[in-house]
């Protein structure tokens, strides 16, 4: 069976790039604490937005969708699931809420992971939630020509309970010595390589990411959706996952690509938090100015629907009018058309 000795492995990952990100994250962590103490009431709205975005993004990565209005009502528990996709979304919502509200009381062990997985599927009657995989699973990938190949063979079903127990034990053993962010990233990679369930491994890994971060004092995921940042960079996510899983069964894999990526996600989350806090706590910003600043500081593209979700206090009409004005002034660029329209800041401006 694989050796999960994090005590011996984590220090080998302290490259200059990783150390720089660790330093930056810890600086952000201190600043966030001050922001929360000073603006607790103003930040409550960010929590609700993050819940909606996290639930949507983590499920969308796995091809699970519903309409925007249905998603919002499901997350806010104003409606019940109508189909399989909505049932999975509702399950994710409940597990996410459990982690948000009770992360201090959830031990890192296989039995509790099984309970979280059970709740992930509690609205679906014909799926074995809360049990380990029944047979060996294989992770495949398909190229542009439609040809399939095996990308990774996870731990076999018979070995899964023992492997997950060993993983959790190694995490606890290293917790007081290893950097918590490096340890979290290594743990999540190994969890994905074990692939303990028939379905839901990706979503469970993202929920466990939040759990481990919160337990280590990094609560940025309550205010900014880490799942959304992963979704927006999912091509890179899958690339580093593959790079770091090469020779995993032989205990010779390189954690650095995956660790470096996860730290980058957390850095971006803190930057997004800082940007949003400045917007919601600035009394001099008009609603139009707030939309302008969000687009200006957003990495990549953003849709009107995303702007609406991020600003529930701003009407659709105001957002549409602001977008039209920004386009007219060449401050933003429009990409695509119809329901697929996206916007990005005009860097040439």
pLDDT in tens, 286-314: 999 999 999 998 877 899 988 988 888 89
Q: pLDDT digit string (tens) for 166-205?
A: 999 999 999 999 999 999 999 999 999 999 999 999 999 9
CATH number at residue 325: 1.10.10.10
Residue 306 lies inside a defined structural domain of this protein:
yes
Does residue 252 have a pLDDT over 50?
yes
pLDDT value of residue 16? 98
**Does one domain contain both 242 and 310?**
no
Clarify whether residues 254 and 341 are in a common domain.
no
Contacts of 83 by beta carbon, 8 Å cutoff, 6+ apart: none
Q: Among 11-20, 64-73, 185-194, name the one with the lowest average pLDDT.
A: 64-73
Q: Which among 264, 280, 296 is the end of a domain?
A: 280
The closest of 57, 22, 27 to 274, measured between CA atoms, is 27
Asked if 295 and 266 sit in the same domain, the reply is no
Pick the closest to residue 330 from 310, 315, 314, 344 (CA basis): 344
Co-location of 249 and 331 in the same domain: no
Looking at the fold, whether 193 and 177 belong to one and the same domain comes out as yes
Q: State yes or no: 200 annotated in a binding site.
A: yes
Determine the structural domain holding residue 44 and report its residue range: 6-280
Whether 84 has a binding-site annotation, put simply, is no
Catalytic residues: 195
Instruction: Determine, yes or no, domain membership for 136.
Output: yes
Residue 203 is assigned to a ligand binding site: yes
CATH of the domain at 98: 1.10.3290.10
Domain end marker among 229, 252, 280: 280
pLDDT at 268 over 70: yes
How many Å apart are CA 223 and CA 60, to the nearest integer? 20
Contacts of 103 (CB under 8 A, 6+ apart): 210, 211, 214, 215
Q: Is the separation of the CB atoms in 110 and 104 below 8 Å?
A: no
In the predicted model, what is the mean pLDDT of residues 152-166?
Answer: 97
Q: For residue 289, what pLDDT is reported? A: 93
- The whole model's pTM is what? 0.90
Does residue 64 sit in the same domain as residue 158? Answer: yes
- 276 and 298 in one domain? no
> Is residue 311 part of an annotated ligand binding site?
no
Task: Looking at the structure, tell me whether residues 193 and 327 fall in a common domain.
Answer: no
Residue 86 and residue 111 share a domain = yes
How many structural domains compose the chain?
Answer: 2
Residue 237, marked binder = yes
**Residue 1 belongs to a domain:** no
Given a contact cutoff of 8 angstroms between Cβ atoms, the answer to whether 46 and 269 are in contact is no
Same structural domain, 122 and 188: yes
Residues 18, 74 within the same domain: yes
Among the residue ranges 73-82, 123-132, 162-171, 234-243, the one predicted with the least confidence is 123-132
Residues 295 and 252 in one domain: no
- pLDDT for residue 349: 45
Percent of the chain at pLDDT > 70 equals 99
């Amino acid at each position: 069976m694989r050796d999960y000795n994090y005590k011996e492995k984590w220090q080998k990952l302290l490259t200059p790039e990783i150390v720089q990100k660790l330093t930056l994250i810890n600086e952000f962590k201190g600043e966030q604490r001050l922001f929360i103490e000073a603006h607790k009431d103003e930040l409550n709205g960010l929590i609700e937005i993050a819940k909606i975005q996290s639930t949507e993004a983590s499920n969308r990565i796995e091809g699970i969708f519903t309409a925007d209005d249905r998603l919002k009502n499901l997350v806010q528990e104003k409606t019940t699931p109508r189909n399989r996709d909505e049932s999975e979304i509702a399950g994710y919502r409940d597990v996410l809420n459990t982690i948000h509200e009770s992360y201090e009381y959830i031990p890192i062990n296989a039995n509790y992971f099984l309970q979280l997985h059970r709740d992930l599927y509690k609205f679906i009657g014909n799926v074995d939630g809360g049990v380990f995989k029944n047979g060996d699973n294989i992770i495949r990938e398909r190229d542009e020509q439609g040809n399939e190949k095996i990308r990774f063979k996870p731990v076999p079903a018979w070995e899964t309970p023992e492997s997950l127990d060993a993983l959790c034990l190694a995490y606890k053993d290293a917790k007081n010595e290893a950097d918590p962010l490096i340890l979290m990233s290594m743990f999540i990679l190994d969890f994905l390589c074990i692939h303990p369930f028939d379905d839901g491994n990706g979503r469970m890994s993202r929920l466990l990411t939040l759990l481990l971060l919160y337990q280590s004092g990094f609560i940025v995921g309550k205010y900014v959706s880490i799942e959304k940042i992963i979704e927006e960079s999912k091509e890179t996510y899958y690339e580093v996952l593959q790079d770091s899983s090469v020779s995993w069964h032989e205990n010779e894999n390189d954690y650095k690509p995956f660790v470096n990526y996860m730290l980058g996600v957390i850095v971006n989350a803190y930057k997004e938090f800082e940007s949003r806090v400045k917007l919601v706590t600035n009394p001099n910003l008009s609603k139009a100015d707030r939309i302008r600043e969000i687009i200006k500081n957003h990495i990549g593209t953003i849709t009107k629907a995303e702007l609406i979700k991020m600003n529930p206090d701003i009407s659709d009409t105001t957002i549409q009018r602001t977008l039209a004005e920004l386009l007219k002034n060449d401050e933003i660029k429009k990409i695509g058309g119809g329901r697929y329209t996206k916007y990005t800041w005009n860097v040439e401006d």
